[in-house]
């Protein structure tokens, strides 16, 4: 029987849940109760979340953690991180503390230019189109004045508009390639509104251009949209210290550690299989701050990975070197972020995160986010090149395993103590908890270790 439904969006939230629970679930009552359990008891807050998207039936929680002890450009921060993966917040905090005593993180915004394009088809003489564009260029600025007025007051606006001939790729394909400064907003709405006006101006002006033939006047706009590839909206985060200061681990000398670390980065620079995982670790830090501050992590992800492949092969976003006895580790990353507009004044926890960060400008947030990525990468590489990541990761993951096993608080406490000295695995944790449940809990350590 078909599950197609007409007019679904018009149903109330309750009706949507009833339909869903009855159509797809063995126990509709339990399903409905589960979804309601995740509703906020504050009706106003719930309505706010309901209205973020369409067909909301419940809320999907992510933990919000904080990583203290970050020093960035001499200023102290506690960084908010919304992420479900264990170890990430702990790793960021550990890196923050490590570098706080070694000069902290430095971050520099290299550029803040955003990009948008009008993609169109023009059948005719390319030189004539260029002459038309040069003659009309000012109109694109004039016709968007109502859109750009406020942005200009804030120091932003349209930076430039170029005509690009793409006919070598697709016959008759051209672009208006425009660059923008959007100051503290991510700028998607501003850019898209400008582009849609450019598209209108382009079609209207072409119709009035006497030098065009009838065919040439008939410009077909395919689409007008910003690009999430922002290779000129880039921030650099960096740490450095004399090699001998890398002296945290008693089992490895600072020199050996620095060399192993640099080799690990070099491998990620040349080997795409490793680069993807290496960059994934960076994105653990980046995405969690991007989400906590209400920014668009899909846009950031798409742009970052395109940037990582900009030279024709996917490669590491971070780099490391030793020069004159100084170890330096850095990361360049494109980040189109906003601290005004979007969710920033709507989502209470986004407002909380921004207040905690001291209401940063978009440029300052770019620096904080890039530092979170570098901190994460440092922690991952440090573990990978010394103890391996599973030791720390499984310790952090232990609580998830214990929750899966429905361990009581008492069982959790004993398990945490036991696994301080023993290797964590799902089966070891299950054995431990099962054993606890069959014996006198006061004797567990003794019995289990025999």
**C-beta closer to ligand MEV: residue 115 or 292:** 292
How far apart are the C-alpha atoms of 415 and 413, rounded to whole Å? 5
Q: Does 137 bind ligand MEV (CB under 6 A)?
A: no
Q: Cβ(105)–Cβ(237) under 8 Å?
A: yes
**C-beta closer to ligand MEV: residue 188 or 264:** 264
Q: Does 278 bind ligand MEV (CB under 6 A)?
A: yes
**C-beta closer to ligand MEV: residue 183 or 381:** 381
In the complex, the smallest distance separating the C-beta of residue 206 from ligand MEV, rounded to whole angstroms, is: 51
Q: Which residue of this chain has its Cβ atom nearest to ligand MEV in the complex?
A: 281
HSE-up of residue 310 (Cα within 13 Å, Cβ side) = 14
In the complex, the smallest distance separating the C-beta of residue 275 from ligand MEV, rounded to whole angstroms, is: 10
- State the binding string over 74-93 for ligand MEV (x if CB under 6 A, else -): -----------x--------
Degrees to nearest 5, angle at CA 42 with 37 and 44: 125
Q: What is the DSSP string of 275-327?
A: HHHHHHHHHHHHHHHHHHTT--HHHHHHHHHHHHTTTSS---SEEEEEETTEE
Q: Does 380 bind ligand MEV (CB under 6 A)?
A: yes
- Nearest 5°: phi and psi at 61? -80, 145
The continuous run of DSSP H or E covering 43 comes out as helix 43-50
Report which of 41, 39, 21 is spatially closest to residue 30, judged by C-alpha positions: 21
Size of the site for ligand MEV (CB under 6 A): 9
**Helix (H, G, I), strand (E, B), or coil: what is residue 155?**
coil
- Choosing from 185, 201, 284, 339, the residue that interacts with ligand MEV (CB under 6 A) is 284
Q: Which stretch binds ligand MEV (CB under 6 A): 118-126, 203-211, 239-247, 273-281?
A: 273-281
**C-beta closer to ligand MEV: residue 39 or 297:** 297
**C-beta closer to ligand MEV: residue 96 or 283:** 283
- State the binding string over 336-355 for ligand MEV (x if CB under 6 A, else -): --------------------
Number of Cβ within a 10 Å radius of residue 268: 28
Q: Does 315 bind ligand MEV (CB under 6 A)?
A: no
Q: Does 392 bind ligand MEV (CB under 6 A)?
A: no
Q: Which stretch binds ligand MEV (CB under 6 A): 14-22, 27-35, 129-137, 272-280?
A: 272-280
Task: State in Å, rounded, how far the first CA of the chain is from the last one.
Answer: 59
- Choosing from 277, 345, 404, 413, the residue that interacts with ligand MEV (CB under 6 A) is 277
- Choosing from 49, 280, 319, 412, the residue that interacts with ligand MEV (CB under 6 A) is 280
265: alpha, beta or left? (left if phi > 0; alpha if psi -120 to 50): alpha
Catalytic amino acids?
A: 85, 280, 296, 393
How far apart are the C-alpha atoms of 215 and 205, rounded to whole Å? 14
CA distances from 121 to 128, 164, 203, 220, 221 (A): 14, 12, 11, 5, 6
How far apart are the C-alpha atoms of 95 and 232, rounded to whole Å? 28
Q: Does 382 bind ligand MEV (CB under 6 A)?
A: no
Q: Does 389 bind ligand MEV (CB under 6 A)?
A: yes
Q: Which stretch binds ligand MEV (CB under 6 A): 46-54, 279-287, 346-354, 431-439?
A: 279-287
How far apart are the C-alpha atoms of 310 and 316, rounded to whole Å? 11
- Residue 442 is given by DSSP the state G
- Choosing from 124, 187, 281, 334, the residue that interacts with ligand MEV (CB under 6 A) is 281
Binding stretches for ligand MEV (CB under 6 A): 85, 277-278, 280-281, 284, 380, 384, 389
């Amino acid at each position: 029987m078909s599950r197609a439904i007409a007019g679904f969006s018009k149903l109330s939230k309750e009706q949507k849940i009833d339909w869903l629970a009855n159509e797809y679930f063995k126990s509709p009552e339990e399903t409905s109760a589960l979804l309601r359990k995740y509703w906020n008891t504050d009706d106003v807050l719930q309505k706010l979340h309901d209205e973020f998207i369409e067909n909301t039936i419940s809320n999907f929680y992510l933990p919000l953690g904080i990583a203290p002890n970050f020093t960035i450009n001499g200023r102290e921060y506690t960084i908010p991180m919304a992420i479900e993966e264990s170890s990430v917040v702990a790793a960021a905090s550990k890196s923050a503390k490590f570098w706080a005593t070694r000069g902290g993180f430095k971050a520099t915004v290299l550029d803040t230019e955003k990009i948008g394009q009008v993609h169109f088809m023009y059948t005719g003489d390319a030189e004539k189109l260029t002459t038309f564009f040069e003659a009309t260029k000012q109109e694109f600025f004039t016709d968007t004045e109502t859109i750009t007025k406020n942005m200009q007051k804030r120091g932003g606006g349209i930076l430039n508009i170029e005509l690009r001939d793409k006919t070598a790729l697709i016959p008759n394909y051209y672009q208006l390639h425009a660059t923008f400064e959007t100051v503290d907003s991510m700028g998607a709405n501003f850019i898209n509104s400008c582009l849609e006006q450019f598209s209108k101006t382009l079609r209207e002006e072409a119709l009035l251009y006497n030098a065009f033939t009838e065919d040439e006047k008939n410009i077909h706009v395919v689409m007008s949209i910003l690009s999430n590839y922002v290779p000129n909206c880039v921030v650099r985060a960096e740490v450095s210290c004399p090699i001998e200061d890398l002296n945290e681990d008693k089992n490895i000398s600072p020199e050996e550690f620095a060399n192993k670390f640099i080799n690990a980065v070099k491998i990620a620079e040349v080997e795409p299989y490793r680069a993807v995982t290496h960059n994934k670790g960076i994105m653990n830090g980046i995405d969690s701050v991007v989400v906590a501050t209400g920014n668009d992590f899909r846009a950031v992800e798409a742009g970052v990975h395109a940037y990582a492949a900009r030279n024709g092969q996917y490669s590491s976003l971070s780099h490391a070197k030793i020069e004159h006895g100084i170890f330096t580790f850095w990361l360049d990353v494109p980040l189109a972020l906003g601290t005004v507009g979007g969710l920033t004044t709507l989502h209470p926890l986004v407002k909380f995160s921004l207040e905690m960060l001291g209401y940063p400008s978009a440029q300052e947030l770019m620096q904080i986010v890039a530092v979170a990525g570098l901190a994460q990468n440092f922690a991952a590489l440090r573990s990978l090149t010394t103890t391996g990541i599973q030791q720390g990761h499984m310790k952090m993951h232990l609580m998830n395993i214990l929750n899966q096993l429905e361990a009581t608080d008492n069982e959790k406490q004993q398990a945490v103590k036991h696994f301080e000295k023993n290797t964590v695995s799902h089966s070891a944790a299950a054995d431990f908890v099962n054993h606890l449940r069959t014996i006198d809990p006061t004797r567990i350590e003794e019995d289990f270790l025999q």
